[in-house]
Amino acid sequence: MYTPIPDIVYRPTVNLNDIVETETIITKSLPSETTDVEMRLLRVFVKDKRDIGKGEIYLFTVTTDSIAPEPFRLELKTFKDVENNTELTFGPGGLTIYRNPQGKVPRFLDYRIFVMESDQGIRDAGKFIGDVQGNSDFISARESIVSAVTGNALTGNIIISVTDVIVSLISKILKMNKDDQLILIAGSFNDKIDDLGTKYGNIFQETKYTSVNYQVLFA
């Protein structure tokens, strides 16, 4: 089984363990009246899908914070008959991959953005998410996060390790191999130094196969 390794790790100021385990004295920069935080994919451009002819593309995102009732938010979009040098279509506003629980601003936001080419054809998105969430590895990962939050013992290492379990599970269910990976981004932002990523504007990252633009917004 192939275990996906991030192509890009983006944690601009401090590592996630420091974000969760320590209290910084830096004053929070997000406006005090902030109530809404949203992370959007703005553009995904497939330069080279690593196969001949048209193909099928999966776009997965996994986001985690410290306050949501469910520890993981999984999103899956599928695209058929994709050629090289093709922009995946989301609509004019982009694709929302994270939105905070109403009125609660998290201390940190951890995320994975994963684009892969499928050798197995496209599966139904709803059924696939159900298969992931019903898997024993996912259930165990979810319970470890919930237990850590309940016991006030959540650490960055726990978040990173269990999120990596989810990405590996996705790879396993899809029978993925290394040549299927177009881009995998792993990142995290905190509220006090990174302003949950809102200060970085439109973020652009790429491999030689795929480029991604995304942004965190607040209101």
Among 12-26, 54-68, 151-165, 172-186, which stretch is predicted with the lowest mean pLDDT? 12-26
Q: CA-CA-CA-CA torsion for 98, 211, 92, 110, nearest 10 degrees?
A: 10
pLDDT above 60 (res 17): no
- Residue 107: per-residue pLDDT: 82
Phi, psi of 201 (to 5 degrees): 65, -145
β-strand partners of 10: 187
Helix (H) or strand (E) holding 203: strand 203-206
Predicted pLDDT at 37: 93
Q: What is the pLDDT of residues 178-201, one digit of tens each?
A: 889 999 999 998 887 888 999 999
pTM: 0.88
pLDDT confidence of residue 116: 94
pLDDT value for 153: 66
Q: What count of residues does the chain have? A: 219
State the pLDDT confidence band at 19, using cuts at 50, 70 and 90.
Answer: low
**Cα–Cα distance between 208 and 73 in angstroms, integer?**
28
Average pLDDT of the chain, as a whole number: 85
List phi, psi (to 5°) of 196: 60, 25
Q: What's the pLDDT score for residue 27?
A: 45
Instruction: Give CA separation, 36 vs 31, 104, 118, 143, 203, in Å.
Output: 11, 8, 35, 27, 19
The residues near 127 (Cβ < 8 Å, ≥ 6 apart) are none
Q: How far apart are CA 72 and CA 145, in angstroms?
A: 9
What is the phi/psi pair of residue 143, to 5°? -65, -35
Interval 35-62: pLDDT, tens: 899 999 999 999 999 988 888 999 999 9
pLDDT at 26: 46
> Furthest-apart CA pair in the chain: how many Å?
54
> Does the pLDDT of residue 25 top 50, yes or no?
no
Residues contacting residue 69 through CB under 8 Å, at least 6 positions apart: 101
Question: Which residues, other chains included, contact 2 with Cβ-Cβ below 8 Å and sequence gap of 6+?
Answer: 171, 176, 177, 178
